[in-house]
Amino acid sequence: MQKLTNKEEEVMKVLWKLEKAFVKDMLAEFENSKPHYNTLSTIVRNLEDKGYVNHHTYGNTHQYYPLITKEEYRKQFIGSAIHDYFNNSYKNLVTFFAKEEKISVEDLKEIINHIENKK
């Protein structure tokens, strides 16, 4: 699975939210820095080429829908980030967030509790 650009991820977020959409429907979802219609259409076709999106044809228009769920993409994205930046170690990931003070002791206790209760 190819990595998505920031703009492609933005479009995928819109498509995951809408589930099925024409380009004009997706365009309406952009609040800040609304892309031009043709630019958005090109991004969606690129997503289709990469295997993230497919479409139904209605005359001259296409209704697009995601082929991968947000959860599937998140799992792959997080997995590759952990591999690339944390030596393939979830412990290193959690340690990073603890050092950066992005995770609290209470959060860590909740995570430990979740792990212990799962066994």
Q: What is the pLDDT along the chain (119 residues), one digit of tens a residue?
A: 788 999 999 999 999 999 999 999 999 999 888 899 999 999 999 999 999 999 999 999 999 999 999 999 999 888 888 999 999 998 898 889 888 888 888 988 998 899 888 86
| 3-class SS of residue 64 | strand
Phi–psi pair at 60, nearest 5 degrees: -95, 0
Residue 17 lies in a domain: yes
Co-location of 84 and 113 in the same domain: yes
Residue 16 lies in a domain: yes
Residue 25 lies in a domain: yes
Structural domain span for residue 103: 70-118
Co-location of 18 and 62 in the same domain: yes
Look up the pTM and report it: 0.79
Co-location of 108 and 83 in the same domain: yes
- Number of domains present in the structure of the chain: 2
Tokens of 26: 């997706």
Co-location of 11 and 59 in the same domain: yes
Co-location of 10 and 62 in the same domain: yes
